[in-house]
């Protein structure tokens, strides 16, 4: 809207550089007018920041902050919460800058792309729609805020692909040198076929854990009746996964187990749980240079892409009018 106003106000024949300066001046004046909002406005309606004429209200910021406070278990009003608030606000500023850049580049994210990403996340979590909605709520999210987050993430990926990633170069010499220096780190990973039982708070885990561990109660049967974890209808079966892709907690609980055995009860994300090793498959062997190349390329490309992205964002910030009110 501000850009449309400047187009109407500025003289048609003014030099392009002069028009750019005047546009920035008008944007600054608009920001100043926004700052003069009524003093009696509700705190949630106060402005936390203005980015190129677009406002981030305190309500917007608080909604974005809630999931982060829950995830990190930080109390509102604490010094840690204040620091987290600043970090979240900077991320929101970045998102607005990228939205502005996406409009310039004619990059868009469709509803179908967002739907596809949500379907992928649900499939990975192994949760049905109702359980997935409950998990979102427990993390301070709702379907609308989730869609917004996913859209911002996909938009960032597209812009990075178009403006950043294609400019990152990793040479064969760099890959070869990294392989020679870290050869012992590259090997095939054995896969493990596992099942997980996560006890609901209403169940006395210790009452069931030992009979299940000893095989007196079949693991799959117990999981299909009780687990609040993924794939309840399949007895908590997570399928076969590379062992190094499991969380450190699960990997540690599988150590020492033979095929078919069940771990003792342990804590998992605030719940009591048990894991069953259905089968350990494959053996570890060193990867050849050709086999390791894709992994090494990714390892070396990621920090370069991140550095390029920061440079790109610095350029966007230098051209933008950003007014932080916190």
Question: Are 251 and 133 members of one domain?
Answer: no
Per-residue pLDDT, 131: 80
Structural domain containing residue 272: 188-281
Supply 254's token pair.
């599988």
Give me the pLDDT at residue 43, please: 55
H-helix or E-strand spanning residue 228: none
- Could you tell me if 125 and 230 lie in one domain? no
One domain for residues 155 and 224: no
Beta-bridge partner residues of 137: none
Query: Which tens digit of pLDDT belongs to each residue from 78-89?
Result: 999 999 999 999
CA-to-CA separations, 173 to 57, 69, 123, 166, in angstroms, rounded: 49, 44, 39, 19
Confidence (pLDDT) at 126: 66
The pLDDT value given to residue 172: 95
Domain of 276, CATH number, reads 3.10.50.40
Q: Same structural domain for residues 61 and 24?
A: yes
Same domain, 101 and 158: yes
Q: Is residue 216 part of a domain?
A: yes
- Report the chain's terminal Cα–Cα distance, integer Å: 24
Answer whether residue 258 is part of any domain: yes
Output the domain CATH number for residue 150.
1.10.4030.10
pLDDT of residue 121: 84
Q: Are 52 and 136 in a shared domain? A: yes
The answer to whether residues 200 and 283 touch, using CB atoms and an 8 Å cutoff, is no
52 in a structural domain: yes
pLDDT of the chain, 326 residues: tens digit per residue: 433 333 333 333 334 444 443 444 444 433 443 434 333 334 557 999 999 999 999 999 998 998 888 888 888 889 999 999 999 999 999 999 999 999 998 999 999 999 999 888 887 776 778 888 888 888 888 888 889 989 999 998 898 888 888 789 999 999 999 999 999 889 887 899 999 999 988 888 889 999 999 999 999 999 999 998 888 889 999 998 888 788 889 989 998 899 999 999 999 878 899 999 999 888 778 999 999 999 999 999 989 988 998 999 999 999 999 999 98
Q: Based on the domain organization, do 130 and 260 belong to the same domain?
A: no
Bridge partners of 195, per DSSP, are 237, 276
- Residue 102 in domain: yes
For position 48, what pLDDT does the model report? 94
- If asked whether residues 263 and 120 sit together in one domain, one would say no
Structural domain contains residue 182? no
Contact 50, 27 (CB under 8 A): no
Helix H or strand E encompassing 32: helix 16-35
Same domain, 139 and 209: no
CA distance 45 to 131: 33
How many domains does the chain contain in total? 2
Neighbours of 305 (CB within 10 A): 19
Query: Residues 267, 192: one domain?
Result: yes
Residue 78 in domain: yes
State whether 154 and 237 are in the same domain.
Answer: no
Q: Does one domain contain both 264 and 319?
A: no
pLDDT for residue 11 = 38
């Amino acid at each position: 809207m501000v850009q449309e106003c400047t187009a109407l106000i500025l003289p048609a024949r003014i030099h392009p550089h002069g028009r750019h300066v005047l546009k920035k001046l008008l944007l600054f004046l608009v920001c100043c007018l926004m700052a003069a909002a009524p003093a009696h406005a509700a705190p949630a309606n106060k402005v936390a920041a203005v980015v190129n004429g677009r406002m981030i209200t305190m309500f917007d910021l608080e909604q974005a902050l809630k999931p982060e406070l829950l995830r990190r278990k930080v109390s509102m009003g604490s010094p840690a919460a204040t620091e987290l608030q600043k970090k979240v606000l900077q991320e929101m500023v970045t998102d607005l800058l990228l939205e502005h850049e996406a409009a310039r580049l004619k990059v868009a994210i469709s509803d179908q792309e967002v739907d596809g990403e949500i379907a992928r996340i649900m499939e990975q979590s192994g949760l049905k729609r109702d359980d997935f909605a409950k998990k979102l709520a427990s993390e301070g999210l709702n379907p609308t805020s989730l869609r917004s987050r996913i859209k911002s993430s996909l938009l960032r990926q597209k812009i990075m692909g178009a403006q950043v990633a294609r400019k990152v170069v990793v040479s064969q010499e760099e890959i070869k040198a990294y392989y020679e220096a870290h050869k012992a780190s590259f090997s095939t990973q054995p896969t493990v076929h596992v099942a997980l039982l996560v006890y609901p708070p209403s169940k006395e885990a210790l009452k069931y854990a030992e009979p299940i561990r000893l095989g007196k109660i079949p693991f799959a049967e117990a999981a299909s009746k009780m687990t609040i974890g993924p794939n309840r209808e399949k007895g908590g079966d997570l399928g076969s996964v590379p062992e190094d892709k499991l969380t450190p907690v699960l990997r540690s609980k599988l150590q020492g187990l033979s095929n078919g055995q069940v771990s003792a009860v342990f804590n998992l994300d605030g719940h009591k749980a048990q894991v069953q090793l259905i089968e350990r498959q494959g053996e570890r062997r060193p990867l050849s240079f050709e086999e390791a190349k894709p992994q090494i390329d990714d390892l070396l490309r990621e920090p370069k892409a991140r550095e390029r992205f920061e440079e790109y964002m610095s350029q966007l910030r230098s051209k933008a009018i950003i007014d932080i009110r916190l």
